[in-house]
Amino acid sequence: GQSLEQPSEVTAVEGAIVQINCTYQTSGFYGLSWYQQHDGGAPTFLSYNGLDGLEETGRFSSFLSRSDSYGYLLLQELQMKDSASYFCAVVGGGKLIFGQGTELSVKP
Amino acid sequence: DGGITQSPKYLFRKEGQNVTLSCEQNLNHDAMYWYRQDPGQGLRLIYYSQIVNDFQKGDIAEGYSVSREKKESFPLTVTSAQKNPTAFYLCASSLDQSTDTQYFGPGTRLTVL
């Protein structure tokens, strides 16, 4: 089967750095994606790791280690607008399999 | 503007009625997907289509049906066989089946009374 695990909730203060971890068990793995979803809205794509290592896009970075079946999303210089749910998703077999999501709360 | 649209945003139906949710995209994407999201949960794949006139069951296809007669359109029917249909339904598309990036519509919140 396929499964992903990520923390259900994370709280941080404005300006801080937060890391959201994701571990996975799957077959047919091509890569790991991250999506952001604000309450009541649609998920939006943040980043994708097809190879091991770090991908940086502005304040957001994502990391993948295939040997450890592990990845993380790093959010720097947190802003209030970053309060949202963050989902990791395994890419493979022509589809995405999503984790349960991590709800990030950014406090002033 | 290119994008993916779903209508309506909110939908109410009586128990035992079939209901069809609309999903249209003008991104010229080959692949389209339907997900269900329950409160505080992740997205679960209902059906997906990698090309016109072809579609595959996802993880929770029971009680749902789809069609893909046109590249732009991928409607989802929630049938009376679906035991717990009240949920947030999201449609997505991607350039093709191998693309890592999916683009989501705004979603339809279905409530069955």
Per-residue pLDDT 10s for chain B (113 aa) are 669 999 899 999 998 899 999 999 999 999 999 999 998 888 999 999 999 999 999 999 999 999 999 999 999 999 988 889 999 999 999 987 776 789 999 999 999 98
Integer-rounded Cα Rg, in Å, for chain B is 13
Output the six-digit token pair for B56: 């595959």
- The pLDDT, as a whole number, for residue A34 is 96
- Within 8 A of B33 by CB-CB distance, chain A residues are 95-96
- The pLDDT, as a whole number, for residue B78 is 95
* Nearest CA among A49, A3, A6 for reference residue A30: A49
Residue A16 clears pLDDT 80, i.e. is over it: yes
CA distance B16 to B13: 9
Confidence class for position A30, pLDDT limits 50, 70, 90: confident
- The pLDDT, as a whole number, for residue A1 is 66
Mean pLDDT of A32-43: 94
Tell me whether residues A42 and B90 touch, CB distance under 8 A. Answer: yes
β B10-13/B108-112 pair status: parallel
- The pLDDT, as a whole number, for residue B88 is 96
- The pLDDT, as a whole number, for residue A3 is 87
Residue A93 clears pLDDT 80, i.e. is over it: no
**Best residue of A95, A98, A100 to probe chain B, by most B CBs closer than 10 Å:** A95
Task: Provide the 8-state DSSP code for A57.
Answer: E
- Shortest CA distance from B98: residue in chain A: A94
Q: Are B59 and B45 in contact (CB under 8 A)?
A: yes
Q: Does A81 touch chain B if contact means CB atoms closer than 8 Å?
A: no
- Within 8 A of A94 by CB-CB distance, chain B residues are 31, 48, 50, 97-98
CA distance A87 to B49: 22
- Within 8 A of B44 by CB-CB distance, chain A residues are 98
Tell me whether residues A101 and B44 touch, CB distance under 8 A. Answer: no
* Nearest CA among B18, B29, B38, B54 for reference residue B90: B38
Q: Strands (DSSP E) along A42-108, which ranges?
A: 44-49, 53-57, 60-65, 70-75, 84-92, 95-98, 102-107
b/e sequence B7-29, b meaning 16+ C-beta within 10 Å: eeeebebeeeeebebebbbeeeb
Residue A76 clears pLDDT 90, i.e. is over it: yes
Output the six-digit token pair for B64: 């749902």
